[in-house]
Amino acid sequence: MQKTDVFETSMETIERNLRVDIAGALAAVKYFTPYMEKRRKGTILLTGGGLALAPNAEYLSLSIGKAGIRCMTEALFPQLSAKGIHSATLTVGQIVKPGSEDAIAAAAAFWNLHSEAKGQWTWEATLK
């Protein structure tokens, strides 16, 4: 996380951040989807952030990146579901420290998404 003034941030930095946040996640989804499609099962879980729901100008590129993850997951959900692949994102609206109660709650939320019965899949859970 990097607090910056978007007007003082180079376009190269913004583009790099979006490549990591959005294009990196999409590349992973595109790579693994054919393997899951062959098996007609699989789960793709992504981590989003509260900045997708409440963007902040001081964290604009991260806000856009998290919104992109959320948008991508929602948009691909019907297509992947039809192939037997459950895709979802956990939108985390807080700082989660390793080993904390929040980290345990995040792990449980991911497990709950993964464990949803086919036909009852959801594309997003939130942790506030």
CA 10 to the chain's CA centroid:
25
The secondary element (H helix, E strand) that includes residue 27 is: helix 24-39
Q: Residue 76 falls within a domain, yes or no?
A: yes
Residue 120, token pair as written in the block: 């009852």
- Whether residue 37 is contained in a domain is answered as yes
Residue 59: CATH number of its domain = 3.40.50.720
- Say if 123 falls within a structural domain: yes
Query: Rounded to an integer, what is the distance from CA 18 to the centroid of its chain?
Result: 13
Residue 2: per-residue pLDDT: 73
Confidence (pLDDT) at 93: 95
pLDDT mean values, one per 10 residues, the chain (128 residues) = 83 92 97 97 97 94 95 98 98 96 97 97 97
Total number of residues shown for the chain: 128
Give every CB contact of residue 57 below 8 A, 6+ residues apart in sequence: 6
- What are the CA-CA distances from residue 17 to residues 26, 90, 108, 126 (Å)? 14, 20, 28, 23
Domain that holds residue 90: 6-127
Measured CA to CA, the distance from residue 124 to residue 92 in angstroms comes to 10
**Is 1 within a domain?**
no
Under 8 Å CB-to-CB from 81, ≥6 apart: which residues? 87, 121
- φ, ψ for residue 120 (rounded to 5)? -120, 15
Give the end-to-end CA distance of the chain in Å, rounded to a whole number.
18
- What total of structural domains would you count in the chain? 1
pLDDT at 51: 95
Q: How far apart are CA 58 and CA 63, in angstroms?
A: 9
